[in-house]
């Protein structure tokens, strides 16, 4: 027992001594820390406050309510992290008395054919109730579309409201209803404003969780419009849809650097002065563990390694095709076991494993490319339908559409499957790239390709 105890003491002493001398923060880390301490989010015309206040009591201003929640959020952040210890507790409640009700996946929409039996939606009564019960929230959702900016503070405890995706789905169904009832001009205006808002939001300041929600909202709205256009081509005459979706989303260096900096600031500010490693509050409350962890943690080395990790992740988002796949494969092999941080920096390594985008994050790279592909296909759909020319001329129109509307992965022009009345980007001969298609007519059953994606059933072979 004495020998074992001595070995443990020697090992701990060696680890503490080895971690006593921390690295110097890199100049880029120093600059980011300085910016993190002084940076302010947009206070005027910022949809963040309106989103936080969506659930305000009826009669209260949602922006003022959202600002009050934000102030409470900041007090919670300071109380939890400002005194050098990790204090557990619930974040300030963001849900007011007005709550979203219903299951948004069951909403009746003409393009979700799986919900219909013999032309009758199985959830029609539930959809009607959801539209009625959430009418005030729906009105507030439409008020968001007038905001020009979306910026989250780096120290926020909460991302976008979880109900926002359900509310967005309900709004798309409401726009569809307006079309069915002949309110084409009103519906077209709302559709264009909705898409323009979520595209503007993608250029804002937000953490990685909010980024995922924003992209889901934008992608869903693109898909909804692509299905509505061929059913109601009169939409093309009612609103400037090409302008609403004309801005690309993929591989913008300025935007990606913006998001990388925000991700760094989120972690630095939220954990500053606290147990930076405290993803386990119970461990953080134990004085012995806290003392040990503090001596097994090199703060500067960890921040340097975290920025390196973010640099690799966001630089990968500038790549496409084979280059992207090679980069992702390299990161999957390396991960965090043999790279960032010294072996003795046990706490820093545990923190990095928790906060760095890892192999599970890289599916989002493909997801972003698929959203960009759908955006381009939707612009092509608008171009073809707006030409008023017969479908037989579509292949010629696609060949002359311009490189900015080609497949973002391969650079090849889109193709037209006449039998299925579908625009698509070809993944390999005869196969459609995942989610890289839009219909210009009723859907038909897909056949799986041998590798991945969907088959064009011989038309492209």
- The yes-or-no verdict on residue 395 having pLDDT over 90 is yes
The band of 278, judged by pLDDT with boundaries at 50, 70 and 90, is very low
Categorize the per-residue pLDDT at 88 as very low, low, confident or very high, splitting at 50, 70 and 90: very low
Segment 137-159, tens digit of pLDDT? 999 999 999 999 999 887 776 66
Q: Which helix (H) or strand (E) holds 427?
A: strand 422-428
- Within 8 A by CB and 6+ apart from 318, the residues are 251, 253, 256
- Alpha-carbon dihedral 407, 316, 351, 281, rounded to 10 degrees: -20
pTM of the model: 0.83
Closest listed residue to residue 17, CA positions, set 316, 296, 338:
296
The predicted structure's pLDDT at residue 408: 86
What CA–CA distance (Å, rounded) separates 318 from 251? 5
Whose CA is closest to 204, among 164, 143, 162, 154?
Answer: 154
Nearest Cα to 104, choosing from 72, 138, 81?
A: 138
**What does the block give as tokens for 63?**
């922006």
Handedness of CA 265, 263, 50, 42 (dihedral sign): positive
Q: How confident is the model at residue 405 (pLDDT cuts 50, 70, 90)?
A: very high
Of 114-128, 152-166, 375-389, 395-409, the one with minimum mean pLDDT is 152-166
User: What pLDDT does residue 37 have?
Assistant: 81
pLDDT, position 276:
45
pLDDT confidence of 434, banded at 50, 70, 90? confident
Give the pLDDT mean for 371-385: 93
CA distance 237 to 240: 8
């Amino acid at each position: 027992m004495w020998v074992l105890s001595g070995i443990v003491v020697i090992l701990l002493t060696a680890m503490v001594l080895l971690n006593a001398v921390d690295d110097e923060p890199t100049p880029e880390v120093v600059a980011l820390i300085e910016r993190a301490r002084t940076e302010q989010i947009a206070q005027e015309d910022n949809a963040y406050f309106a989103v936080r206040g969506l659930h305000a009591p009826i009669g209260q201003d949602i922006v003022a309510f959202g600002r009050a929640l934000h102030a409470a959020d900041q007090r919670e952040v300071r109380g939890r992290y400002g005194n050098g210890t990790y204090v557990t507790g619930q974040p300030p409640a963001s849900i007011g008395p007005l709550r979203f009700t219903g299951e948004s996946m069951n909403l009746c929409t003409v393009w979700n054919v799986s919900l219909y039996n013999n032309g009758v939606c199985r959830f029609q009564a539930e959809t009607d109730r959801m539209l009625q019960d959430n009418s005030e929230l729906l009105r507030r959702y439409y008020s968001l579309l007038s905001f020009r900016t979306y910026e989250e503070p780096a120290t926020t405890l909460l991302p976008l409201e979880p109900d926002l995706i359900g509310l967005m789905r309900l709004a798309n169904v409401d726009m569809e209803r307006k079309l069915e009832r002949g309110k084409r001009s009103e519906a077209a205006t709302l559709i264009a404003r909705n898409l323009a808002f979520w595209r503007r939001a993608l250029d804002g300041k937000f953490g990685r969780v909010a980024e995922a929600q924003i992209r889901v909202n934008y992608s869903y709205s693109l898909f909804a419009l692509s299905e509505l256009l061929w059913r109601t081509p009169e939409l093309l005459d009612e609103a400037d849809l090409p302008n609403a979706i004309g801005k690309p989303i993929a591989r913008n260096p300025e935007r990606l650097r913006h998001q990388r900096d925000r991700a760094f600031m989120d972690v630095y500010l939220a954990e500053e002065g606290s147990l930076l490693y405290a993803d386990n509050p119970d461990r953080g409350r134990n004085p012995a563990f806290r003392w040990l962890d503090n001596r097994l943690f090199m703060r500067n080395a960890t921040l340097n390694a975290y920025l390196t990790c973010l640099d690799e992740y966001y630089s990968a988002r500038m790549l496409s095709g084979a280059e992207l796949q090679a980069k992702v494969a390299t990161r999957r092999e390396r991960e965090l076991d043999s790279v960032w941080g010294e072996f003795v920096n046990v706490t820093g390594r545990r923190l990095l494993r928790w906060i760095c985008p890892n192999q599970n994050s890289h599916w989002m790279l493909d997801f972003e490319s698929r959203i960009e592909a759908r955006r381009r296909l939707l612009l092509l759909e608008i171009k073809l339908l707006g030409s008023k020319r017969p479908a037989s001329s579509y292949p010629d129109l696609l060949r002359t559409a311009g490189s900015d509307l080609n497949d973002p992965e391969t650079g090849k022009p889109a193709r037209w499957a006449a039998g299925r009345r579908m625009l698509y980007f070809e993944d390999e001969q005869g196969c459609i790239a995942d989610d890289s298609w839009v219909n210009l007519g009723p859907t038909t059953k897909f056949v799986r390709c041998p590798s991945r994606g969907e088959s064009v059933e011989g038309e492209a072979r």
